[in-house]
Amino acid sequence: MEKIVFHPEIHTYHIDFAGHVSNIVYIKWMEIGRLKLLAAAGMALVDIMAGDIRPVLAKTEITYKRPLYLGDVVRVELWIGTLRQTSAEMVFRIYRNDNELAARATQNGLFVSARTLKPYRLSAGERELFIPFVRQGAD
């Protein structure tokens, strides 16, 4: 099983009034991860936008375990927990300073047709692109 791993930087404008990284920054990191996943699966956003398929979000859940602060080293990991014909559940783990779990999250995405705005069924070939990133279970 492959997973997407990247290390976003924390900037001063990411800090909220409580002195730690704002919750909206986690959402942005998750979007970056989804785009990296699509690209790694051979479905770069520019290619997707030229076709009929559109990935959209249906649900986001985040459980914050430890705050992130300016100066922390961040690692984001992402894989697919469940892949269906028209949807996928993406699993995220966000770590600080090596292996301290800062947050765990999931996002449910739906593939829709740009023409009809109805669910888009992945072809066997399209599904196959995502298989290397599928890992059943949350951990």
Tokens of 95: 């770590």
Whole-angstrom Cα distance, residue 35 to residue 20? 25
Domain of 125: which CATH number?
A: 3.10.129.10
Which range of residues forms the domain containing residue 116? 4-133
- Range of weakest confidence among 26-30, 32-36, 68-72, 133-137: 133-137
Domain for residue 33, yes or no? yes
Looking at every residue in the chain, the average pLDDT score rounds to 95
Domain for residue 138, yes or no? no
pTM beyond 0.75, yes or no: yes
Average pLDDT over residues 55-71: 97
Whole-angstrom Cα distance, residue 116 to residue 101? 41
> How far are the Cα atoms of 23, 47, 78, 112 from residue 91, in angstroms, in the given order?
17, 24, 6, 20
The CA angle 50-126-1, to the nearest 5 degrees, is 125
Chain segment 11-55, per-residue pLDDT in tens: 999 999 999 999 999 999 999 999 999 999 999 888 888 999 999
Structurally, how many domains does the chain consist of? Answer: 1
Provide the sign of the torsion angle of the four alpha carbons 67, 70, 72, 76, taken in this order: positive
Domain for residue 139, yes or no? no
